[in-house]
Structure 1
Amino acid sequence: MALQRRLALCVLTGGLLLCVYMLCVNLEKPPSLAPLKHVSSGSRGSEEPLGTSRDQWTRRPPAPELSSGPGGYTPAPTGTPPTSTAAQRKAAQENNVSQSRSDGADRTRTGTKGPVVPEHQQLVQADGPTEPPFIGDSYMSEDVPPQTDCPDDIRSRVAKTEFGGRFLKRIPVLQWAEHVTRDEHRRLSRYPGAHGWGGITYETLVETLSVLNSSASGRLLDDWQRRSNDSRCIRCAVVGNGGILKDSRRGEEIDGHHYVFRTNGAIIKGFERDVGSRTTHYTFSTNTLMNSMRSYSGAGYRGPPQSEETRYVFLPDHDRDYLLMKAAATHTLVERGPERAKDPSKYFGKDVSAEKLKMYHPDFIRYLRNRFLRSKALKTKYKDIYRPSTGAVMLLAALHTCDQVSAYGFMTRDYRSYSDHYYDRSYRPVGFFVNHDLLLEMSLWQRLHQAGLMRLYMRE
Structure 2
Amino acid sequence: MKCACTAQHAVIMPSSAASVNNFGEVKAKSSSKSTGSLESSDKKEDVYQTILARKKPNSDSPNTQRVLASTSSAEGNHFKATVTLVTARMTSSRRALSSLGASNYSLATTHKAKLSTLSPYLGDMYAKDDVHCSSTIRQKFSKSIFRDTYLEMVPVLQGWKHFSRAEYQRLRQYNGAHGWNVVPYNILNETLALLNSSATWNMFHEHNGENCKPVRCAVVGNGGILKDSKKGSEIDQHDYVFRTNGAVIKGFEEDVGNRTSFYCFSTNTMRNSMMSYYHLGFSGPPRSGETKYIFLPDHDRDYILLHAAVKNIPITRGREASNQPPRYFGKNVTVEKFKMFHPDFIRYIRNRFLQSKILKSRHKDLYRPSTGAVMLLAAVHTCDEVSAYGYMTPDFEKYSDHYYDKRKTKVNFYINHDFKMEMNLWQLLHKEGIIKLYMRQGERLSGGAGTTNHTLS
**TM-score band w.r.t. shorter chain:** 0.7 to 0.9
Distance 1:245 1:83, change over 3 A: farther
- The RMSD of aligned alpha carbons is 2.6
Say which of 390, 399, 408 aligns to 2:371: 390
2:169 equivalent to 1:194: no
Shift of 1:80: 5.2
Distance 1:54 1:188, change over 3 A: closer
Say which of 11, 17, 25 aligns to 1:55: 25
2:133 equivalent to 1:143: no
TM alignment of 1:16-55, pairs within 5 A = 54-55=24-25
Q: Which moved further from structure 2: 296-305 or 232-241?
A: 296-305
2:317 equivalent to 1:316: no
Q: Give me the TM-score of the superposition, normalised by structure 1.
A: 0.79
Q: Unpaired runs of 5+ in structure 2? A: 1-22, 33-37, 64-85, 442-457
Task: Tell me the equivalent position of 2:118.
Answer: 131
Q: Unpaired runs of 5+ in structure 1? A: 1-52, 99-108, 115-121
Say which of 245, 250, 256 aligns to 1:275: 256
For 1:442, what is the secondary structure of its paired residue?
helix
Q: How many residues align?
A: 385
Say which of 284, 288, 311 aligns to 1:303: 284
Distance 1:189 1:225 in 2: 32
**Structure (1 or 2) with the larger CA radius of gyration:** 1
TM alignment of 1:256-405, pairs within 5 A = 256-405=237-386
For 1:273, what is the secondary structure of its paired residue?
helix
Residue deviations 1:75-102, cap 9 Å, x none?
425665589498532321221279xxxx
Task: Tell me the equivalent position of 2:150.
Answer: 167
For 1:312, what is the secondary structure of its paired residue?
strand
The residue type equivalent to 2:31 in the other structure is: P
Distance 2:330 2:250 in 1: 17
Task: Tell me the equivalent position of 2:405.
Answer: 424
Instruction: Give the share of equivalent positions with the same residue, in percent.
Output: 49
Shift of 1:218: 1.1
Distance 2:98 2:388 in 1: 40
Residue deviations 1:378-436, cap 9 Å, x none?
00111111000000000000000000000000000000000000000001010001100
Q: Give me the TM-score of the superposition, normalised by structure 2.
A: 0.79
Distance 1:438 1:200, change over 3 A: same
Distance 1:79 1:89, change over 3 A: closer
Task: Tell me the equivalent position of 2:89.
Answer: 88
Distance 1:342 1:352, change over 3 A: same
Distance 1:201 1:217, change over 3 A: same
For 2:272, what is the secondary structure of its paired residue?
helix
Shift of 1:144: 1.7
Task: Tell me the equivalent position of 2:39.
Answer: 64
For 1:384, what is the secondary structure of its paired residue?
helix
For 1:445, what is the secondary structure of its paired residue?
helix
The residue type equivalent to 1:368 in the other structure is: I
Distance 1:451 1:86, change over 3 A: closer
Distance 1:410 1:273 in 2: 17
Distance 1:417 1:128, change over 3 A: same
Shift of 1:113: 8.3
Distance 1:113 1:186, change over 3 A: farther
